[in-house]
Chains A and B, each alone.
Chain A
Amino acid sequence: MLPCTTKKLFGVECFGCGTQRAAYMVAQGNFVDAFKMFPAIYTTILLCLFLFLHFVDKKRNYHKIIISLAILNAIIMVIAYIYKHFFNFK
């Protein structure tokens, strides 16, 4: 797996840390563990799926879905990150 450069240099996890581990868990079928590892994994998978569809399927319009999924993804990432770092170990 690719190492996180932010974590390597500063020791601080980034917003995307856990994506690869969570994707691996989803591929193995551990859906609950994947959600606990990185809650935004499902919106990320959906976003990638719809982006792929957008490039392949020219007839339909996926713009609203892509934009709303991207905003949702960013919000989930930030909230999960803040939760993981500031409220989890107290």
Chain B
Amino acid sequence: MENYQNQNDPQNYQNSNFNNGNENFIPSQLPNATAILVLGIISILGSCCFYGIVGLICGIIALVLAKKSTSLYKQNPNAYTNYSNVNTGRILAIIGIVLSVLMIIFIVFMISVVGMEALTDQQLMQERIQEFFQQYQ
């Protein structure tokens, strides 16, 4: 990359992958691609740990990084070879966020239906859930 930093416009520094004017370019790697993929994996596998917070945080970080990388890629699609890594990581992060949000919604729902004191008591919890469903039958 250092050889191509004599670019006129500092805004388009991703164009530094191109030899200015010439058609031949050097394919390079998108920044953070592996990080996005790893964060997406942590987000989907860790979506249940720690009340869904780990999955949510990792997923959001992965989505933000993926948004940056995608805009970089869209400006110059031929210059990068590992966009599919970013895309996979992004989709894994979306799934992880969905699972985490479902987990959090479910915890809130259970607390509101069952009540805090019945949560650790399995039988009382089942009775309360059955009561809740019988209300709507």
Contact = CB atoms under 8 A, between A and B. Distances in A.
Task: Report the interface size class on chain B.
Answer: 20 to 34
Contacts of A42: none
Interface string B61-88: 0000000000000000000000011011
> Is the contact region of chain B dominated by helix, strand, or loop, or is it mixed?
helix
Nearest to B47: A15
A32 interface: no
B51 A70 contact: no
Interface in B79-118: 84-85, 87-88, 91-92, 95, 98-99, 102-103, 106-107, 110-111
Contacts of B95: 70-71, 74
Given A70-B91, A74-B98, A6 B107 contact: yes
Interface of A: 4-6, 9-12, 14-17, 51, 54, 61, 63, 66-67, 70-71, 73-74, 77-78, 85-86, 89-90
Contacts of A15: 47-48, 99, 102-103
Contacts of B50: 5-6
A14 B48 contact: yes
B66 to A, nearest CB: 14
B44 A70 contact: yes
